[in-house]
Structure 1
């Protein structure tokens, strides 16, 4: 391939490329009279370093922008919840444990612990009741009769809507869990249902 370039450059009357057999410069630079190859390589390396530093600054700025947007959205959402409701009950989701699973990127992106912290101090400032309850079996237990008839295990996470075997009520998984967490926060869920009370 180099020979074809050489012959092509000779035929066209162009200056030969510096990236021939003896030289190890990259990118290839045209050899002309008075052209300093070492200086051109140093200039290229300098521009490459500057570009890399500029890219690092851009990445840092992009991540800062994402962080600011997430914080802004969480502040607005937590303020809306505190203004709208008189009591807020949340589950004790451990984001550090979930971060060790395959959902790590989603967990870190959502910022659950930060949202919980914001809700806690805003509720304390506004005089609103804020409770953290243990959410074990809240998706499996029926919010109507309390039986543990819902789907379980990792494969059960795919099932979003299920019917209770005991009472026949059709449940959406998330809505059912929210009702169970709310009843746990109010202390209405009995111990024999299968959901332990803190």
Structure 2
């Protein structure tokens, strides 16, 4: 099982300066390696090496810069620019890895074949994380974390690392209110499905904007609407930033205050998602959700409300917590869940403004969202049964 713990750091003033220096050096190297990739892409993506109409010289082909070739250039970088020697070698290599991943997603796509946009160069204060791919298992000692080539940094360890888990990677992140460390943990002995897993303990949830979700047992959680409630304060803080002179210390201070407000808003929403997911998994072993196109919905007229609800983050948290607890989350096909009847399956066309489902065939009348959640539950039970049958056949 894999999980991650995040702790807040309390670095000294000198350590803060050192962190910022490392991030700036890594940003410069990231931009340089990315520019090298773009240069190769523009010069070598065409197989033609001469022009028959115009007498001109086209650049000669060169090998495609990849992770290995860019990694091999790092020793020469330290000779040409000695100030890079103070960076840990694996941290510097990780910057090349990030370029490799960003460029591969741009050209080839991710594991599902979905391509990302053209990678962007990192501006000032946009490179905020550096990673140690390997750290010692005993790097945390009496309220301090020992970072290679950096030393001891004070750590607020609000919870202990579980027994049996090994620290795989360590990432330092700069946020609006300070620095944080994220430890990636792994324990291969923890089972993925718990022994007393009950497939019949299943519920379906229909996420929405009025109610955050409605479960198939008619449990409702009201949408908290954190962004809507904080809009006036955010508007005032944003106006304060726009009135400050660009480049001034007062503007930097106003930007920092605005960033802290946005981070507090995001943390409050995330805390709500964690608690909601935890309460769901305490009651049920299987949770069925819709496989929604959240990115598409976030570009519609309901963009602000959809982003405020944070469905994508909630489903991601729910899935990870279920895996860690040995439980299951099933994503079902969302087509027709708001139009079908959960009792007889008749298609009942309704506008979005109609909040009650009235079936003319079986005379069932109930809340539209409750009807959808029951359909989601039934589809989840059917998919779970199909998965069991396929797994038994393969055995």
TM-score range with shorter-chain normalisation?
A: 0.5 to 0.7
Partner of 1:165: 360
Structure 1 residue 53 displacement after superposition: 2.5
Structure 1 residue 146 displacement after superposition: 0.4
Which of the residues 173, 176, 184 maps onto 2:379?
184
- For residues 279 and 366 of structure 2, the distance between their equivalents in structure 1, rounded to whole angstroms, comes to 27
Partner of 1:12: none
Partner of 1:137: 336
Which of the residues 154, 175, 183 maps onto 2:370?
175
1:75 paired with 2:255, answer no
Partner of 2:318: 119
Whether the 8 Å CA contact 1:161–1:172 is kept in 2: the answer is yes
List per-residue Cα deviations over 1:143-179 (Å, max 9, x = no partner): 111000241xxxx000001311111111211000000
Map 1:34-45 to 2 at 5 A. Answer: none
Whether the 8 Å CA contact 1:89–1:132 is kept in 2: the answer is yes
Structure 1 residue 59 displacement after superposition: 0.7
List per-residue Cα deviations over 1:19-67 (Å, max 9, x = no partner): xxxxxxxxxxxxxxxxxxxxxxxxxx98x93433322111111001101
Partner of 1:19: none
List per-residue Cα deviations over 1:128-147 (Å, max 9, x = no partner): 12100011111110111100
Structure 1 residue 187 displacement after superposition: 1.2
Q: TM-score, normalised by structure 2?
A: 0.34
Whether the 8 Å CA contact 2:286–2:328 is kept in 1: the answer is yes
Aligned Cα RMSD in Å? 1.9
Instruction: Show structure 2 runs of 5+ residues with no match.
Output: 1-243, 384-395
Task: Work out which of the two has the higher radius of gyration on C-alpha atoms and give 1 or 2.
Answer: 1
**Residue aligned with 1:157, SS:** coil
- For residues 354 and 328 of structure 2, the distance between their equivalents in structure 1, rounded to whole angstroms, comes to 33
Whether the 8 Å CA contact 1:143–1:176 is kept in 2: the answer is yes
Whether the 8 Å CA contact 1:92–1:135 is kept in 2: the answer is yes
Greater relative contact order (CA < 8 Å, ≥ 6 in sequence): 2
Whether the 8 Å CA contact 2:298–2:304 is kept in 1: the answer is yes
**Residue aligned with 2:362, SS:** coil
Aligned residues: 139
- For residues 157 and 68 of structure 1, the distance between their equivalents in structure 2, rounded to whole angstroms, comes to 31
Q: TM-score, normalised by structure 1?
A: 0.66
Structure 1 residue 103 displacement after superposition: 0.9
List per-residue Cα deviations over 1:105-124 (Å, max 9, x = no partner): 11111111111111111111
User: Counting helix residues as a fraction of each chain, which structure ranks higher?
Assistant: 1
